[in-house]
Amino acid sequence: MASSTGLSLKFSPLSTSFKQNKVLLRGICNVNSVSLPSRGMRLGSLRLRVSCAAKPETVDKVCSIVRKQLALPKDSPVTGESKFSALGADSLDTVEIVMGLEEEFGISVEEESAQHILTVQDAADLIEKLVEQKSA
């Protein structure tokens, strides 16, 4: 499943407006490290998912729950791309993070979906999908 890699380029950067790129890039929590894209950017270096990408606020909330669970110092980078395992989360941490997300967003995560959550972005996207389904 392509989405499980957290990387899927679904649009041609040359045809996208600069403004849209800026909105998407705000989804990254540690804003200081973001550099704005230019028209000459290489396809391979862009790590955005346009279809079903989560709102920046959602990604932010996920980041803060992750930081709290893993007791990460304020300056350590946590972004949409961050893999839970790379941040030092063991399987117990990951379950507790998902539990925290369920509480925060008032959703219920199925085991099968939970297994595909490898990055912060994965979590945020799933949350938004579930929240949308709940209100539908």
Partner 1 sequence: MSLKFNPITYQSHKLPSFALPPMANLRSPKFFMASTLRSGYKEVDNPKKPFMPPREVHVQVTHSMPPQKIEIFKSLEDWAENNILTYLKPVEKCWQPHDFLPDPASDGFYEQVKELRERAKEIPDDYFVVLVGDMITEEALPTYQTMLNTLDGVLDETGASLTSWAIWTRAWTAEENRHGDLLNKYLYLSGRVDMRQIEKTVQYLIGSGMDPRTENNPYLGFIYTSFQERATFISHGNTARHAKELGDIKLAQICGNIASDEKRHETAYTKIVEKLFEIDPDGTVLAFADMMRKKISMPAHLMYDGRDDNLFDNFSAVAQKLGVYTARDYADILEFLVNKWRVMEITGLSAEGRKAQDYVCGLAPRIRRLEERAQGRAKQAPKVPFSWIFDREVQL
Residues that bind partner 1 (CB under 8 A): 1, 4, 83, 85, 90-92, 94-96, 98-99, 108-109, 111, 114-118
Catalytic position from the list 90, 93, 122, 125? 90
C-beta of 25 vs 65, nearer to partner 1: 65
Q: Report the C-alpha gap between 22 and 37 in whole angstroms.
A: 8
CA 1: distance to chain centroid? Answer: 17
**56 neighbors 34 (Cβ within 8 angstroms):** no
Q: 90 an active-site residue?
A: yes
In the complex, least distance from residue 76 CB atom to partner 1, rounded to whole angstroms: 17
Q: Report the C-alpha gap between 102 and 108 in whole angstroms.
A: 6
In the complex, least distance from residue 111 CB atom to partner 1, rounded to whole angstroms: 5
Q: Hey, which residues are catalytic here?
A: 90
